Amino acid sequence: MTRRLNILLFALLLSFVCHSAVVYHDDMIALIIEDIYSQLIEEGAEVDFQELEQELYAIHADPIDLNSATEDDLRRLPFLSQSQIDAILLLVYRQPLTSLYELRLVSELADYEIRNLLPFVVVRQVAADSLSWRSLWQHPRQELSLRLDARRIESNGADPFYTALRYQLKASPHLELGLSAERDTHEPWYVKGKTYGADFYGGFMQLKDLGCLRKLVIGDMRASFGQGLTLSNSLSYTSKIAYVQDNGYRREGIDRKLSTSEYDFMRGIGATLQWWKVQLSAMYSARKVDGNVVDGCFSSIQRTGYHRTESELNAKRSVWEQTAAVNVTLRLDKLHLGIVATYTNLSDTLAPTPEYYNTYYFRGTRQSSIGLHYQWRYRKIELFGELSAAQNTRWGVGNIIGLRLSPTSDISMVAIHRYYSPFFHSLHGQGLSSSTHRGGEHGMLVGADIRSLPHWQLSAYADVYRHTTPSYRQPAPATGYDVMATAQYSKTESLILRLRAQSKGIADSYRHALRATLITPVGNWTNNAFAEVNIAQSADTLTPGTVIGDQVEYRFPCSLTLQLRAEGFYCPAWDNRVNLYENDMPYSFSIPAVYGIGARYYVNLRYHINDHFSLYLRASQTLQTDKWLDAHKQYRLTDTDIHAMLRVRW
């Protein structure tokens, strides 16, 4: 009897330890995501945060085997630099790993970076099973999540509920299926010819690594090549800090779309084939986009994804957009050289309403673009860039050329020059820029990333640019600057300091900000204190802004995690606003703009019931002072949101 009892107690303890590890990894992923987001948010990078978060959770569910990983596999991890990826691949090439502890042999990886890496990698000793079509369905894993939010409960809207349903099937490392449905607040459930149930439906099927077929995607997908000037709707090609730290925010190729975002994606079929050192990618997309069509013309493609009012519903999926793209890349050991071409056809004429800043915007129904992208690495030097041309009323040219120098494994310096002619406006391109529309801009960015000091990482960049044509809020050519410096100390605790100064060239306008974050873990407790002070000048008005807050997290032994956060803010002007990342439901993000004078707080609960069921609850509220509301003629005193989500895995 005693022996049986001991066995039972040991089994319960083992189950608790294993389950606690799962909860710990989920919390680690949340911290990693927060660190990534905080940089991108402060910089204002154009990135689908939901896609980035879902990608990390997908990697955690199916970790990367380091012994068989390729460079493309490791570039999926956005916190690894290129030098770290090369060092890991070299270690495995010399001798396959037998344990994750051998990552300590990689001098380029600090202890905290190895800690960040652990939830996403494994070391397998057993050879992979022989590949066959039957093996695609041998080990299926499924996940279903249902989310229901009540947002801005105090508002007078009749329907404050947001709903989202997501299903994903990963039958093997080679086959993946996904379906999603989403409805935003105040959107009707049925509008003939426009809405049937949910407001947005999406789905995909992806096959990968089957002989010469590297990837096949049917349904919703994203595609990016080179520096993104010709074609990019995948993650971020506009993040300056990503260029400086040389990490994985910028991924190339065709990939499935995981998020429920309703813009910047393709819907059709795409494939990547590889023979020897040559990769061929081709895709075709046909989908309807939002635009208010009047007499066969529309002024812009609406990207908000909201369809609540009559005007928004009339614009919903009114314009057919067809896009075809081809990319061919030669991937040698030291040289990657590729050419990408796109063709887009719109069913109606895109004709922006004439304004002083959109004289050179694209107008018409058809656009062709072509780009040459390259990357050459030799020892400590890397040369990269893309030369692109896009059809407009006249052909426009865009060019990015960068040089990276890494004298040691823990020091990296980069210089990037960009030039966009006034008529350069690619419908599906992105690129390093100070604004959404890149035409008529040229600039120079220099930056450095230093990790030679124990436990410290120092990153900084300076970007100086000039608009040769009028742009939004700039009726005349202007010169601007953007400077950021980051110092991060990571050991048991983490201290992050960020200083940013920027001016977009508007007369007598600038914004300077300093943000500090201190993360202190003590046992099951984690404390996250943060503060920002900024000063903004607009015309003749100089205003200071301040945000001070703290978040406390406790992991209970019963697989329950509780988060409490509160912050006070004094941001009297819109230019003093502060965008802060907040923990929310999995596969989603919350980045409210703190503005005005008041306070904000939220409570998060994550309960992993067992290996199959997880429950998430969140309540948040923003309080504004009566004095500030009266002065600005605003009447809503509070904003209250309640979020709930159930996730099932089997």
pLDDT digits (tens, 9 = 90+) for 599-614: 999 999 999 888 899 9
CA distance 463 to 458: 17
CA distance 180 to 166: 4
Given a cut of 60, is residue 573 above it in pLDDT?
A: yes
- pLDDT reported for residue 389: 96
CA angle 47, 159, 566 (to 5 degrees): 55
The rounded percent of the chain whose pLDDT value lies above 90 is 38
Half-sphere CA count of 214, side-chain side, radius 13 A:
20
Long-range contacts of 536-540 (CB under 8 A, 24+ apart): 536/510, 536/511, 536/512, 536/573, 536/575, 536/576, 537/508, 537/509, 537/510, 537/511, 538/506, 538/508, 538/509, 538/573, 538/575, 539/507, 539/508, 539/509, 540/508
pLDDT band of residue 70 (cuts 50, 70, 90) is confident
- pLDDT reported for residue 628: 63
Q: Which of 13-17, 280-284, 386-390, 455-459 has the lowest mean pLDDT?
A: 13-17
- pLDDT reported for residue 403: 95
Specify whether the CB–CB gap between 526 and 519 falls below 8 A.
yes
pLDDT of 476-527, one tens digit each?
888 899 999 999 898 888 899 999 998 887 666 888 999 999 989 888 898 9
- pLDDT reported for residue 337: 96
Given a cut of 80, is residue 636 above it in pLDDT?
A: no
Supply the mean pLDDT for the chain: 84
Query: What's this model's pTM, rounded to 2 decimal places?
Result: 0.86
pLDDT band of residue 635 (cuts 50, 70, 90) is low
Highest mean pLDDT among 64-78, 308-322, 636-650: 308-322
- pLDDT reported for residue 539: 72
Q: Which of 388-392, 470-474, 579-583 has the lowest mean pLDDT?
A: 470-474
- pLDDT reported for residue 333: 85
pLDDT of 238-253, one tens digit each?
678 888 887 755 667 8
CA distance 561 to 590: 18
Specify whether the CB–CB gap between 265 and 221 falls below 8 A.
yes
- pLDDT reported for residue 235: 57
- pLDDT reported for residue 127: 52
Question: Mean pLDDT throughout 57-73?
Answer: 83
pLDDT of 329-350, one tens digit each?
999 988 999 999 999 999 999 9
Specify whether the CB–CB gap between 564 and 593 falls below 8 A.
no
Alpha helices in 75-160 (DSSP H): 82-94, 111-117
pLDDT band of residue 633 (cuts 50, 70, 90) is low
pLDDT band of residue 156 (cuts 50, 70, 90) is low
